[in-house]
Amino acid sequence: MLYPVCWGLSEGSNTISPTSEMVFYGILDLLSGPVFLLSFIAFLEGLTDQQLRTTAFGTSDRGENGVSVQKGPQPAVPPPGTGADTGPGEIS
């Protein structure tokens, strides 16, 4: 909230000198980092375990114990020795 005040005192009304403006902005920058970090940590502490597992695209694909869970039909795997399971440059 103090950034507009600093701008108003320096650029808006030329009340403070450019050196004082740089010091004012520097102090605001040093104070704003920890304030935003603490507010972010406080926000994260308020989340439940289920909210942390939810992604932007729905629920996570991790089960209760953190093991990946396959959702939906699994892709077909070709039988061994058919040539489809070998990498580039390999002969089946």
Q: What's residue 35's pLDDT? A: 92
Condensed to tens digits (0 to 9), the pLDDT of residues 41-89 reads: 999 888 887 777 776 665 555 555 555 555 556 566 666 666 655 556 5
Domain count, the chain: 1
Q: Give yes or no for residue 19 having a pLDDT over 90.
A: yes
Alpha-carbon span 90 to 92, nearest angstrom: 7
Q: Are 78 and 84 in contact (CB under 8 A)?
A: yes
Q: Give yes or no for residue 22 having a pLDDT over 90.
A: yes
- The stretch 8-37 carries a mean pLDDT of 92
Domain span including residue 24: 2-54
Tell me, yes or no, whether 29 lies in a domain.
yes
Amino acid letter, 2: L
21 Cβ neighbours under 8 A, 6+ residues apart: 6, 9, 10, 11
Q: What's residue 70's pLDDT? A: 56
- Give the pTM: 0.46
Q: What's residue 1's pLDDT? A: 86
Tell me, yes or no, whether 66 lies in a domain.
no
Count CB neighbours of 51 within 10 A: 9
